A and B are shown apart, each in its own frame.
Chain A
Amino acid sequence: MTFLAPGFFIGALAVAAAVVALHFIVTRQPRAGVLPTARFVPDLPATATARATRPSDLPLMLLRVLLVLAAGAGLAKPIIKPSRGVEARVILADVSRSVQDTGALNDSVRAYSRSHDVVIAFDSSARPVAADSVSHLRSARSRGNLSAALIAALRAGSGLRDRADSVELVIVSPFASEEIDAATDSIRALWPGRARLVTVRANELATSAKPSLEIRAQQGDPLAVTVAQAKSNTDPTGLITRSGSSTEEIPGRATIEWPVNERPRGAVARAARDTIGGLTAHGALVVASFERRWAYPPDSIRDAEIVARWIDGEPAAIEFPGASSCTRSVAIPVASAGDLVIRRDFIRFVGALSGDCISTTSAQPVDAPQLARLAGNGGLVPREAFPPRGDVTSDLAPWLIGLAAVLAIVELFVRRRRALEVRSVSARSSRAEKRAA
C-alpha cells in the first residue's frame, strides 16, 4: 500500500506522537490536602502539570491516536499497489467503421492480450475494455480517432507503471487515413518506444467505383446550374435530390437531400428565421446572405456527421451513414435570384458538399511513411518513462475520513463522560476532606 499524499500521513504520525506525549504530561488537580497556612501559597491555577510514567486515560489516548491516524491516512489517500510483472501491453483495438471484420479484430486482440494487459477500444473516442469483454468487441459506425486512442494509451501506460517493469504498445487497426489527424504524429511521439502494429482488414467501400455528380431536380432549378459547373471543375460523386429521397444506393456514394422548400431530413423549423452571412464545408467558404429557416436539433446530430456549417458554427448540412452509402441532409436555401449559383465559391462549396461519404474516404489506408511513424522505433518502454498518474483516486480515503468523523464523535462523548467522572470524584473528595477536617 502506498499514499498519494504521504505528507498528510507523516503529519498525522507526528500529531499522534504529540497526543501520546501529552497523555504522559498530565495536567490535573494534584492530590488534595489541608494546610491552614495555604494563604501563603502563591495564587496559581489549581492545576499542576506533572509527567506520568503511564499515560493518563489509556482508552481515550488510543481513541485520539486512532482518530488522528485515520484522518491523516484518509487525507493521504492510500492506494493498494498490485504486484508488479515484467511486461505489460497496452492494446488499442480499433472498433471504428473502418474495420470490416470484427471477428478478425477480436481474434487479433485476443491473441495479444494477457490477463494483466490493458485493452482500449477506440472509435471516435477511446475507453478501456474489461477483461471479460475483450472477445466481444463490436465495431461502431463512427470514425476512428487514433489520436484519442494514443492519449488513452499514454494514460494506461501511467496506470501500468506500478504493475510492470516495461510496457509495450500494440495497435490493432486497419489504419485508415480518416483515423489520422494532424495531432496523431505529435501524440505518437509522446510514447517513448516502438509500437507493434497489427493490421486488420479495412472496409471494402474504399475501392468501390462511383458515378459522377448528378442532380435530380425540376426544370429551371438554379442549383442545376451550379451542379453543372461543379461537375466540370471537380470530381464529386454525389447524387443531389431536390425533392423526396432516392432509393438508388451506390456503395460509397452520398445521396444529398437538398429540398427546395420542404423540411430537410432531421431538421426542425427555427423559432425565428434569421439571416446569416456565410457557410463553409471542407474548406470551401461561401460569403453570401442566406435566410435560415431550418435548424438541426441535437438529437438529429447525435448519429450524424456534420458536413457543412454556418459561419456561426451551427450545422448547415449533416450526413447520416447508411449500410453501404450515406444520406446527407442540406438545410441551405438556394435563391433563384442573384448570382449565387454561378459564383465560384458556391460551386466549390457544392463540390465539397457532394464528395464521397465520409465512411468511403475513411477506409483509405494510410501510406507507408505514416505507418512507419506510427510504429516508431526503440524497444519496450520502461516504467520510469511514464509519469505517475495524478488522477488516481483512493477508494479507502472516504472510508477513513468517515471513520475519523465517527471516532471524533465517540471521542467527544468519552471525553465528556470522563470529565463528569473526574468532577464527581473531585467533589466527593472535597466534601470528604471538609468533613474530615
Chain B
Amino acid sequence: MALWREARQSAAARFEEPDYAALLDSVRGIRWPARSAVRGGIPGAHTSRMRGASAEFTEYRPYRQGDDLRRIDWKLFARSNRAYIRLSNDRAILPTTIVLDASASMAFPVGSLGKWTLGAQAAVALAAVARNSADPVGLVVARENDLIQLPPRTRQSVINEMVRAVQDTRPSGNDPLTPAFDAAARMSGRIVIVSDFLGEGDDLLAAASRAVVAGKEVHALHVIAPEEIDPPRETVLVSDPERPDIRRPLTGDARDAYLLAFGAWRDRVAHEWSESGVAYSVAIVGEEAPDHLVRRFTSPRGIAATA
C-alpha cells in the first residue's frame, strides 16, 4: 500500500497540465488547407468542387436547360447573342473532427503522461487551427468504456469545451479506436486520428481506408514516447498497461530484439497508413514544441512526408 501511494504521489507531482492558452496563441494564424477540393456546401475557406456564383470568376459555360436564369451573363448575351452562364470557384467549409486515443498506453511515461499531453495538445491545437479557418471542429475522445463526442461546431466556445474535455480525461482501458473513428467519419469531412496505434488491429486502418475512398480527408498523428524508442538499458520487467498478462523482462539481448521489432512495426504502420491514402505523421514526445508540430502537420509539405 505504501509503495502504491508513493508511486501515485510521484506521478501526481510530475504531471503538469499544459498551458492551452499559450498554445492557442502560438498556433494563431496557421492555416490548414484541405488536401483537395472539398464538397460544396456552406461557404468557407477551402476550395470547393462546386462552381457557383461567387465573385471569383473562373469561366463561362453555355446555358443548359435547368440553369438558373439569374446566372446568365446578360451583357455577354447582348454582345454575342448567345446565353452563357458565368462560373466561379466556390469555397466551402471542411468539418473537422479530432479522434483522440485515451487508452492506457497513452498514459506514458507514467510520471509525466507525455504521450497523452502531446496528443491532447495536438488535438486542441489542430482544432483551433481548423476553427480559425471557420471550419466546424469536433472532438471524439475514446476512453475506457465511453466516448466523449463533441460534434463539429463553429461557435467560439467549442475550443474551450475541447480543452475541458481533455482535461477531464485520464487515459485508461484498451477500448478500440474504430467506433470513435466511425462516429467522427459520420460527422466530418476531415478526420484526424491522434493515437499511438498500439492495440489497434486492422479494423481502424480499414475504416480509415473506407473514409478515404469516400472522399474524406484522413490524417493520422502517431504519438511515440522516446522511452519507447530507446528503453532503459537496465534489466526491467516491463508490463503492458493495456494487457496485464504481458510481463516480460527487458534484458540486454531482449532489448536488441525489441528495438528491431518495434522499428519494424513502426515502419509497417507508416507504410500501410500512407498507402491507404491517409496523411500519416509521427510525433515524438519532447522532440518538438506542439506549435511546431502543428505547423508541420498542417503544412502541405508536411503531410505524409514525415513518416
Which residues of A come within 8 Å of B, CB atoms? 29-48, 50, 428-437
Task: Return A141 CB to nearest CB of chain B, in Å.
Answer: 85
B66 contacts A by Cβ under 8 Å: no
B239–A32 contact, CB under 8 A?
yes
A41–B257 contact, CB under 8 A?
yes
B261 contacts A by Cβ under 8 Å: yes
B237–A33 contact, CB under 8 A?
yes
Q: Which of B73-129 contact A (CB under 8 A)?
A: 104-108, 110, 115
B236–A32 contact, CB under 8 A?
yes
Chain B residues with CB under 8 Å of A33's CB are 232, 236-239, 250
A436–B7 contact, CB under 8 A?
yes
B29 contacts A by Cβ under 8 Å: no
The stretch of B136-144, B183-191, B241-249, B285-293 in contact with A is B241-249
B237–A437 contact, CB under 8 A?
no
Q: Which of B124-155 contact A (CB under 8 A)?
A: none
Chain B residues with CB under 8 Å of A40's CB are 258, 261-262, 265
Chain A residues with CB under 8 Å of B261's CB are 40-42
B239–A41 contact, CB under 8 A?
no
Task: Return B301 CB to nearest CB of chain A, in Å.
Answer: 29
Q: Which of B50-85 contact A (CB under 8 A)?
A: none
Complex: A435 Cα to B5 Cα, angstroms: 9
Complex: A31 Cα to B7 Cα, angstroms: 14
Which one, A31, A34, A45, A431, contacts B241 given CB within 8 A? Answer: A34
Chain A residues with CB under 8 Å of B250's CB are 33, 35, 38, 41
Q: Given that A34-B241, A36-B105, A36-B108 are known contacts, is A43 also in contact with B248, CB under 8 Å in the complex?
A: yes
22 contacts between A and B (CB under 8 A): A31-B234, A32-B236, A32-B238, A32-B247, A33-B236, A33-B250, A34-B238, A34-B239, A35-B108, A35-B231, A35-B236, A38-B238, A38-B240, A38-B248, A39-B198, A40-B258, A41-B254, A42-B257, A45-B249, A428-B1, A436-B10, A436-B110
How many A-B residue pairs have C-beta atoms within 8 angstroms? Tell me.
Answer: 128
A37–B262 contact, CB under 8 A?
yes
Complex: A325 Cα to B10 Cα, angstroms: 109
Which one, B3, B257, B262, contacts A432 given CB within 8 A? Answer: B3
B5 nearest CB neighbor, chain A only: A432
B307 contacts A by Cβ under 8 Å: no
B251–A48 contact, CB under 8 A?
yes
Chain B residues with CB under 8 Å of A431's CB are 4
Complex: A40 Cα to B236 Cα, angstroms: 14
Chain A residues with CB under 8 Å of B241's CB are 34, 36, 434, 437
A42–B7 contact, CB under 8 A?
no
Interface of chain A, helix or strand or loop or mixed? mixed
Task: Return B122 CB to nearest CB of chain A, in Å.
Answer: 18
B110–A42 contact, CB under 8 A?
no
B248–A37 contact, CB under 8 A?
no
B8 contacts A by Cβ under 8 Å: yes
Contacts beyond the supplied A38-B238, A45-B249, A435-B8: 7 A-B pairs with Cβ under 8 Å: A32-B239, A33-B250, A36-B225, A38-B240, A40-B262, A432-B8, A434-B244
Q: Given that A436-B4, A437-B110 are known contacts, is A44 also in contact with B236, CB under 8 Å in the complex?
A: no
Interface of chain B, helix or strand or loop or mixed? mixed
Which residues of B come within 8 Å of A, CB atoms? 1, 3-8, 10-11, 104-108, 110, 115, 196, 198, 225, 227-228, 231-232, 234-244, 246-251, 253-254, 257-258, 261-262, 265
Task: Return B263 CB to nearest CB of chain A, in Å.
Answer: 9
Chain B residues with CB under 8 Å of A30's CB are 234-237, 249
A432 nearest CB neighbor, chain B only: B4
B198–A37 contact, CB under 8 A?
yes
Chain A residues with CB under 8 Å of B248's CB are 38, 41-44, 46
Chain A residues with CB under 8 Å of B6's CB are 432
Chain B residues with CB under 8 Å of A430's CB are 239
Which one, B238, B244, B257, contacts A35 given CB within 8 A? Answer: B238
Complex: A437 Cα to B116 Cα, angstroms: 12
Which one, A36, A43, A428, A437, contacts B3 given CB within 8 A? Answer: A428
A432–B7 contact, CB under 8 A?
yes
Chain A residues with CB under 8 Å of B1's CB are 428, 432
Chain B residues with CB under 8 Å of A434's CB are 241, 244
Chain A residues with CB under 8 Å of B7's CB are 432-433, 435-436
Complex: A148 Cα to B229 Cα, angstroms: 90
Chain A residues with CB under 8 Å of B110's CB are 34, 436-437
Chain A residues with CB under 8 Å of B242's CB are 36
Nearest 9 CB-CB pairings of A with B:
A432-B4, A36-B105, A436-B7, A35-B238, A40-B261, A38-B240, A41-B248, A38-B238, A30-B235
B225 nearest CB neighbor, chain A only: A36
Chain A residues with CB under 8 Å of B235's CB are 30-31, 48, 50
Complex: A435 Cα to B242 Cα, angstroms: 13
Q: Given that A32-B236, A48-B249 are known contacts, is A429 also in contact with B254, CB under 8 Å in the complex?
A: no
Task: Return A150 CB to nearest CB of chain B, in Å.
Answer: 73
A35–B227 contact, CB under 8 A?
yes
Chain B residues with CB under 8 Å of A433's CB are 7, 239
Chain B residues with CB under 8 Å of A432's CB are 1, 3-8
B238–A47 contact, CB under 8 A?
no
A35–B228 contact, CB under 8 A?
yes
A37–B228 contact, CB under 8 A?
yes
Chain A residues with CB under 8 Å of B8's CB are 432, 435-436
Q: Given that A37-B262, A428-B1 are known contacts, is A44 also in contact with B249, CB under 8 Å in the complex?
A: yes
Task: Return B178 CB to nearest CB of chain A, in Å.
Answer: 19
Most B Cβ at <10 Å: residue of A33, A47, A433, A434: A33
